[in-house]
Amino acid sequence: MTSAVGAHIRQARLRYGMSQAELARRIGISKTAMNDLEQGKTRDPHLSYIVAIAEELRLSIDALIGRKKAVEASPPAPAQRPRPRKVASVG
């Protein structure tokens, strides 16, 4: 993996406002491993790491690795609780 891909990962992570430690925790790797990915020290990262990073940062894999311009997805809307039903009076 080149340092350019690591730079794309770092830029996307910072744009999302997430620390290396938080992203590493969410995808199940160590902070050191995440740092190595961003620094370009990991020569051939697992595809599962790239997919997990892209999913966490809401980017396509192509955008994450720099093959096409990143289009930021809006964060998911918070789940809305349904309104409680009014109880009909009996009688």
CA distance 67 to 14: 19
Q: What is the pLDDT of residues 13-31, one digit of tens each?
A: 999 899 999 999 999 999 9
Cα 57–chain centre separation:
2
Q: What is the pTM of this model?
A: 0.68
End-to-end C-alpha distance for the chain, whole angstroms: 73
| pLDDT of the residue at 29 | 94
Q: What is the mean pLDDT of each run of 10 residues along the chain (91 residues)?
A: 79 91 94 93 88 91 79 49 64 63
Residue spans of the domains in the chain: they are 3-65
Contacts of 15 (CB under 8 A, 6+ apart): 57, 72
| pLDDT of the residue at 2 | 58
| pLDDT of the residue at 76 | 44
Virtual torsion, Cα 10, 16, 22, 24, nearest 10 deg: -40
Supply the CATH classification number for the domain 3-65: 1.10.260.40
Is 62 within 8 Å of 68 (Cβ atoms)?
Answer: yes
